[in-house]
Amino acid sequence: MNHAFVTQTMLYHALFNQWLGTGLQTSLPEMGLLHGQPLTDVIPLAFMWDTLLANAGWVIALLLLLLLLFRDSLRTWAIRPTRAVGDHLYYLLAGKLWMQPITLMRYRRALKEMYRHVHIPFRPLRPLDLQDVYVPLQVAGSLDQTPMDAYRAMSTWPRLVITGDPGSGKSMLLKHMVLTYAQGQPGLPLPNVIPILLELHRLNDPERSLQKQLAMELARNDFPRADQFIEHALERGTLLLLFDGLDEVSSNQRPWVVQQMSDLLYRYDGCRAVITCRSAVYHQEFANLVNQTLAIAALDDQQMDQFLQPWERDMHTVDKSVDHLLQTLRDRPQVLSLARNPLLLTIIAYLYTDTTFVLSRSRAEFYRKSTDILLDQWHQERNQFDARYKRLILQRLALFCQDTNQQSRSGLPGMDYTQALQQVAQCLPALNIPVDQQNAVALLHEIVERSGLLMPIDGGLRYQFAHLTFQEFFAAAELLDDSAGLLQRFFADPDTWRETVTLWCGLARDSTPLIRAIYQHDPITAFACLVDAQQVEPGLTGEIVKACGLQLGHTASGNGIAHAFGAFAADPHPRGAAVFAFLEKTLTTSRNHERRLEAAIALSLTSLPQAAAVLAAYYTVRPEVRAPLLRMGDRWPCRTCHR
């Protein structure tokens, strides 16, 4: 045997295996240099090739392992160019009419992603499913009309204006309609039309036509180059235009926006449309172009129950349930009236489910306690600023909004971002916080992002309170030691300050002087103040109740007196019981139809089962009780009333 050959072969194997053992991280020349000379001079290339072939199985296994480990990256690398080419071709061809099946499919898919969740500011990372929390809303022309399902109204009338209070569900209604279309579910009031939901605050460029804005809305939802499609669909009447939030259009742009919408609706008279607006600022701008103007009705008990069901899965303690929450609300008529608004019911559901909050009996106390929790207890460790500072800021901002809205008469909610920052900055010295732009921005941002009480609108250019009553409550708190200033504001603009006055009476220790002053000018508002007031002289109370009782049924008083009587009669204390008895007597003995009607409306607004029983007893003999009774939903025992 040639021992030199064997020794050389063993050396080749040792060196080559050492190179393989480095994980192929060391080059062959570098490996050779470790031994004082190039590896290719030490190991013949032919030998290395023979060795690789001998180990081919291991090499293939190594390659397969690498492919397995990096398969997702390789797939993405391979697909990305193909997808990019496909998306580019789709963008170029999307506007062609023959592409409609594909574009509408992608449009539906984008809408599903856009609207399937409801995001709550004070409950981040835990959105609710829109299909779960949506309840069919009722709409009607006035309190004495029987409400009807909103979808049915849309099927009945081609064009509608739907009004409602802040948080009443106007936007939710339109979003649910779009989501129903996107998911291809039954129940869409107009199954053969294509909805386009346009938030009207986006109309901020006079150089851009409304049709172009509609095309841009489609583009935002994966339907680009839709100008030709829009024109064709408008002419054929296959679009359902959903214009959301006329009240959110800036005051200087609003006449132009109204004109653009009016021109389009006039030109394409076969096009269906729904326009939403806050009740307080709609001035019949489209009266000649729509079939009906309807208001969203307050939630009844059955709707509230349905709305709250998705929350029950998070009620982890044995003493919490939807039934318990509803019963607690029924025991607190003043708070129950607030809970008939979907936004406020969402806040109540969150406080009940996720915190140790106990519902108060008065509205003012409810607002005080609930805002304490929203400002402080939610992720307290993450708050940079003390809750009391944020409360004082909100009081300042609320009074500013109330004052400026009164002065401008524009009806535009809230304030500009720069105005909000200026108001915050002016508060910093009194709060012992260094005055600089950074602190003002941080404080405003924390209030917006972490409490849900203040919200950005118009793309962040403006801010408004999440609900108008929060603004009115904080304004009342800011004026708690300035009753003269509050009276001056109320006499100058009663409509703007009426709710603030009543909430002020719920905060003040003794409201007698203020209520007496208001009574001389506005007995009905003074009557409403009695409901919230902590302390009032009994003689003044009796005088006001008697005077307002004489006005019941006068059409000049509108529905305001019915609301006041309903709120008063819902109070479980002796004064409330006396007013309830007065309403029942008026309904059963008065010969005046208008007085009976207003008494029936007031009883229905108490939300009390005993009120429902009174109305049900006269359902067949008093036609005026039927619409108010039906508004009470499942709070009444009369089965024949459904028929």
404 with 539, same domain?
no
Domain with residue 277: its CATH number is: 3.40.50.300
Residue of 410 and 166 predicted with greater confidence: 166
pLDDT at position 82 is 55
% of the chain exceeding 70 in pLDDT: 79
Q: What is the mean pLDDT of residues 401-416?
A: 66
Between 407 and 581, residue with greater pLDDT: 581
Task: Report if residue 131 sits inside a domain.
Answer: no
Same domain, 461 and 484: no
Q: Look at residue 160 and give its three-state secondary structure.
A: strand
Flag whether pLDDT at 11 surpasses 60. no
Of 281, 298, 315, which closes a domain?
298
> What does the pLDDT read at residue 22?
43
pLDDT band, residue 633 (cuts 50/70/90): low
pLDDT bin (cut points 50, 70, 90) of residue 641 is very low
Q: Same domain for 488 and 606?
A: yes
Average pLDDT over residues 198-204: 86
Q: What is the mean pLDDT of the chain?
A: 82
User: Would you say residue 314 lies in a domain?
Assistant: yes
- The 10s digit of each residue's pLDDT in 426-447 is 999 988 888 888 889 999 998 8
Query: Letter for the amino acid at 71?
Result: R
**Does the residue 44 lie in any domain?**
yes
End position of a domain, from candidates 475, 508, 532: 475
- Tell me the C-alpha distance between 274 and 160, whole Å: 5
Q: What is the pLDDT of residue 455?
A: 85
Question: Looking at the predicted structure, is the pLDDT value of residue 381 above 70?
Answer: no
The answer, yes or no, to whether residue 460 has pLDDT greater than 80, is no
Best mean pLDDT range from 456-465, 535-544, 624-633? 535-544
Which structural domain, as residue segments, surrounds residue 529?
Answer: 476-642
CB 580 within 8 A of CB 604: no
**386 & 464 share domain:** yes
Q: For the chain, what is the domain count? A: 5
88 in any annotated domain? no
Distance between CA 269 and CA 271 in Å, rounded?
6
Q: Looking at the DSSP assignment, which residues form a beta bridge with residue 129?
A: 117
Residues 105, 179 within the same domain? yes
Where do the DSSP E strands lie in 356-440? 415-416
Residues 463 and 402 in one domain: yes
Given a cut of 60, is residue 335 above it in pLDDT?
yes
Residue 415 in domain: yes
Within a domain: residue 91? Answer: no
- Among 97-101, 187-191, 549-553, 579-583, the least confident range: 187-191
The reply to whether 85 falls in a domain is: no
* Pairwise pLDDT comparison (198 vs 608), residue with the higher score: 198
Q: How far is CA 639 from the centre of its chain?
A: 35
DSSP-derived 3-state class of residue 436 = coil
Based on the domain organization, do 610 and 540 belong to the same domain?
Answer: yes
- Pick from 139, 161, 143, 171: which is nearest to 152 by CA? 139
pLDDT(117) > 70: yes
Q: Based on the domain organization, do 454 and 349 belong to the same domain?
A: no
Whether residue 454 is found in the same domain as residue 497: no
Is residue 409's pLDDT more than 50? Answer: no
Residues 184 and 277 in one domain: yes
Residues 274 and 189 in one domain: yes
Residue 591, SS3 per DSSP:
coil
Q: Are 204 and 220 in contact (CB under 8 A)?
A: no
- Dump pLDDT digits (tens) for 34-69: 344 444 454 455 555 555 455 566 656 666 666 666
Per-residue pLDDT at 95 exceeds 80: no
Does residue 552 lie within any of the structural domains?
A: yes
What pTM, to 2 d.p., does this model score? Answer: 0.72
- The residue with greater pLDDT, 156 or 412, is 156
Domain closes at, from 452, 475, 498: 475
In whole angstroms, give the CA distance from residue 492 to residue 469. 20
Q: In this predicted model, which residue has the larger pLDDT, 334 or 261?
A: 261
Q: 348 with 334: CB under 8 angstroms?
A: no
Same domain for 405 and 469, yes or no, is yes
* Secondary structure of 542-570 as H, E, C letters: HHHHHHHHHHCCCHHHCCHHHHHHHHHHC
Confirm if 282 and 306 have CB atoms less than 8 A apart. no
Which pLDDT score, from 0 to 100, does residue 379 have? 55
